[in-house]
Amino acid sequence: MITAETLKHLEFDKILHAIAGFSHSQVTCEELLALSPHRSLDLINSTSERIAELTSLQPLGISLRLSRFDDIRPMLERLRPHGSLLSPQELLVFIPVFEIFRDIARQLTPRSDIPALKNLTPQISPFPDLLEPLSASIDPDGSIMDSASTALKEIRRAKRSLAARIRKKIEEIIRANDMEIFLQDDFITQRAGRWVIPVRMDSKGMVKGVVHDVSSSGETAFMEPLEIIPFVNELENLTAEEKSEEIRVLRQLSAWLRDDAEAIGACFETLVTVDALNSIACYANQYTLEKVNVSAGGNLVLVDARHPLLLMQLEDGAVKRVEPLSLQMGGDGSVMVITGPNAGGKTIALKTAGVLTLMALCGLPIPANGAKSTIPFLDTVLVDMGDEQSIEQSMSTFSAHVRRVAAILEQTGERSLVLLDELGAGTEPHQGAAIACSVLHELQVKGAKVIATTHLSEIIGFVHRSPGMFNAGMEYDSATYTPLYRLICGEPGHSHALDIAGRFGMPERVIRHARELLGSAGEEFTALLAELHRKREELAEAGRNLARQQEQVAATAREVEVRMASIETARREAREKGRQEAQELIANSRRQMNLLLEEYKREHRGETVEKLRQVQTDLSESLKPDHDQLDFVPLTSVKAGDSVHIRTLGHTAVVLSVMEKQGKAKVRAGRMELDVLITDLSVPQCPVSKKKGEKKAVTRDWKLDSETTDEHELKLIGLRVDEALEQVEPFINRASLSGLREIRLIHGLGTGRLRDALREFLARHPLVDSYRSGEAHEGRDGATVVMLRG
C-alpha cells in the first residue's frame, strides 16, 4: 500500500492541485485531490487509455463541452421521501448538469475513435424529458416562469390585469373627490400587500378608507380607499391561487426527478469521472505528457524524463531549463546508488523517478518519452527523505532516518520501489557507510528496486563489487565548478567538496591542508573518477563521430540511388526515342516501296527491282538491332516448328526445315518462305513496358497468326485496328506484285471501328484505286472489296 506520507514526501499532492485547476466542479476537484495509485493493472490501463483518447482530440480542435456545475447528489438525496419537493433554487442546479449531459452525449455518441471513453458505465444520457420542463419552468434567477404551466400563466395574467385596474381605480378616486389636497405625496404604493395612498395625518378623516401603516415621522398615514377593497381582496385570492399552482409545479418537477433519480445519480458519477479525466488530459496537453506502459514484472525505464513541478516552474519563468533524466533498472541491476556534488540534482533525480512512478500507477501520462519508457506495476513505494524535505533543501536526524529505514525493511517486497535520500548520513561516516551497505544488500535480497543517494565513497566501492547493483553520478563541470544536472548511469559521481569550497571563498591554505589530510587514497579516487569521466567523454565523442559518418554514408547512398534512377530514366527515354525513330523510318520506307512498286508496274522494271532491293537493304540496316537497346539470346539449336527472330530483317518467323550442312534454315514469315543463316536467328527478349505485365511488341511487317483463305482475301476479324493495319499493308503489296486487280478484306460488322479505320487507310494508299462494300455473296458490310491500280 502506498501511504499518504509517501505521496506528501514526493509532492504528489502539488501535481494533483495543478490538475484540479482544470476541473469544472468542486466535487471533481475533491475527487482529483483524493487520487492515489490504483491496485488493479486493468484499471490503470483503462484510465490511461481514456486519458490518451481525450488528449488525442485536442490536435483535432475538439474539446469536451464542459462548464461549471454543482453537486446534485444532496438534492437527489432529499428527493428520496415520497411527496418531497425541491425549491426553485435547488431545481435550478439540475439545469446546467442536464445541459452538460446533453452536450457530452452529442459529442461522444457518434464517435468511433474513443472506444475506452465509450466503455464508461453508465453512458451519459441527455434526459431531454427533464431538461425541457426544467428550462421552461425555472428562471436563471431562481423564480418560477409563467411558462411553467398554462394555469399559472393565466393566473398571473389576471393578476397583472387586476393590478392595473386597481391602480386606475385609485387614480379615478383621487381625481373625482379632489383628494389631492389631502395627500402627502402623489404616488401609489403597497403596505402589507394592500394598495394605499399617502394621506397627511391631519387629513386622514377626510378620506374614506383603512389605515394600514404610518410613516416613521408620524406625519403620513398610508390608507387603502374603501372603494378598492373588493378588488384587492380578489387580487389576494389570485395570489393564493398562484402560490398553490407554483407548489403544484414544483411538486410535479420533483416527482419527475425522483422517478429518474437513480439513473441521474449514476450519470452524474460518470460526468464527474469524465470531468476528472478531461482535467488530466488538459494538464497533459499543457505540459506535453505522454502515455506510458505499466506492466507486471516490467523494468523501471525512464527516457528523457522531467519532474512535473519543474516543468510548471519552467512555464512560470522560475527556472530557465529542466535537464532530462534517463535511467533503467531491473534485470541485472535493481539497486542504483547516485553520487555527486551538493545541489547537483541527486534528490531531484530521486523524486522524479518516484513521482513519475506514482503518476503512472494512477493511470496518468508522464513527462517522458512514453514510447521508450516503462513503469513496473508496484504494490508499494517506500521513501526516506527526511522530515520536511522538499525539492529545494532539507536535512534529517540520524535517529529519524534509522526509524524510517527499519520500517521500510519490514514493508519491502518484490513489487516495491524504495527511494533513500542521503543514505548513511547523520552519523560517523565509516559506520554510516557500513549500515548503508547492509541495508542495500537486505533490500536487494527482498527483490525490491532501489534508488539511493549518498556522499560516502565507501558505498561506491561496495556497489561496484556487488552483482545486481550499479553506480550512477550527477555530472559536474570541473572547469566552471557548476552542476550539469545530468545523470550518468554506470559511473559514480564525485562530491567536488574541496573545489566548491574554494570557489565559494575558502582560503587556499585551508584547501591545501585539507587535501593533505585527505591523503593519497582520496587523491587516487578523485583521479580515477576524473579518468572515467575523460574516457566517457572520448567514447561519447567517438559515438558522435560514428553517427556523423553513418549519416554521410546514408546521404551518399541516397545520392547514388537518385543518380541510378536518373540514368535509368535517361535509358528508357533513349529507347523510346529510338523506337519512335524506327517507326518513322519504317513508315517512310513503306511509302518509298509503294511508289517504287507503282513505278515497277509502269516502266523500268529492272531498275525498279534494283531500287527496291536497295531500299530493303537500307531498311534492314536501319532496323538492325542495337544490342545496347534490345538484347536477343542467340540460338544454340534450332528445329522445325521453332519460333525465331531474324536479326538482319527484324522479323519473327517459324522454322520449316533445317539444312545443317549449309548452315541454313527454311523459315516462313507470313506467306513468304526464306532461306536464312542459322547464325542470324535468335530468341527476342522483350522488355516489360511501363504497364505491369505488358510487353513491347517487336516491330514486324506481318503476323504469323494472320489468317488468309487465298491470295485474294485476308481475314481480319477479332484483330485490333493497329494489328489489322500491320497485316493489310504487306497483303496489298504482295497482291500488287502478283498482278491482282481486286482483293477482299474480311473485317466483320462489330462496332464499325475496324471497318472505318481500314477504309480511311485504303483512301490514302497509293496502290489502291477504289474500294466498296461487299455484295451479298461477298459479305456485305462485313467485308471491303479493294480495286488496285493497274
Rounded CA-CA distance 109/102 in Å is 11
Q: What is the pLDDT of residue 718?
A: 81
- The 10s digit of each residue's pLDDT in 392-425 is 334 446 777 888 899 999 999 999 999 999 888 7
Top CATH class, 148-251? mainly alpha
Q: What is the pLDDT of residue 606?
A: 57
Q: Given a cut of 60, is residue 132 above it in pLDDT?
A: yes
The contacts of residue 697 (CB under 8 Å, 6+ apart) are: 686
Place 503 in a pLDDT band, splitting at 50, 70 and 90.
low
Mean pLDDT of the chain: 82
- Among the listed residues 774, 722, 767, 721, the one whose alpha carbon sits nearest the alpha carbon of residue 744: 774
Peptide bond into 122 cis (omega under 30): yes
Q: Which fold has domain 705-790?
A: Ribosomal Protein S8; Chain: A, domain 1 (3.30.1370)
What HEC string does 65-103 produce? CCCCCCCCHHHHHHCCCCCCCCCHHHHHCHHHHHHHHHH
d(CA 200, CA 178): 14
Range scoring the smallest mean pLDDT among 419-428, 682-691, 710-719, 742-751: 682-691
pLDDT of residue 207 exceeding 90: no
Q: Which three cell numbers stand for residue 724?
A: 489489322
* Pairing assessment for the beta strands 643-646 and 742-746 based on DSSP bridges: unpaired
The reported pLDDT for the residue numbered 276 is 97
Q: Tell me the angle at which helices 128-137 and 229-259 cross, rounded to the nearest 10 degrees.
A: 160
- For the chain, the domains span 4-127+260-287, 148-251, 294-506, 625-700, 705-790
Q: 453-486 b/e with 16+ CB inside 10 Å = b? A: bbbbbbbbebbeeeeebbbbbbbbeeeeeebebb
Instruction: Compute the half-sphere exposure of residue 762: CA atoms within 13 Å on the CB side of its CA.
Output: 26
All three cell numbers of 360, joined, read: 503512472
Q: Quick one: which H or E segment has residue 369?
A: none
Angle 625-630-632 from CA coordinates, rounded to 5°? 80
pLDDT at 127: 94
What per-residue confidence (pLDDT) applies to 688? 40
736-764 burial by CB neighbour count: b if 16+ within 10 A, else e?
A: beeeeeebbbbbbeeeeebbebbbebbee
Q: 162-206 pLDDT, tens per residue? A: 989 888 887 777 776 667 767 766 677 878 778 887 888 877 777
0.75 exceeded by the pTM? no
**Averaged over 378-400, what is the pLDDT?**
66
- Taking CA atoms, 784 is separated from 205, 713, 759, in Å, by 134, 10, 8
CATH topology of domain 4-127+260-287: MutS, DNA mismatch repair protein; Chain A, domain 3 (1.10.1420)
Residue 522 pLDDT level (bands cut at 50, 70, 90)? low
Architecture of 625-700 per CATH? Roll (2.30)
Classified by CATH at the fold level, domain 294-506 comes out as Rossmann fold (3.40.50)
pLDDT confidence of 357, banded at 50, 70, 90? Answer: very high
Domains 148-251 and 625-700 share a fold: no
Q: What is the pLDDT of residue 629?
A: 45
Q: In angstroms, how far is CA 730 from the centroid of its own chain?
A: 66
- 739: pLDDT strictly greater than 70: yes
Distance CA 601, CA 597 (A): 6
Q: Nearest to residue 385, comparing CAs of 451, 304, 466, 316?
A: 451
The mean pLDDT value for 34-51 works out to 94
- Give the confidence band of 538 by pLDDT, cuts at 50, 70, 90: confident
Instruction: Give the pLDDT confidence score for residue 533 in this predicted structure.
Output: 64
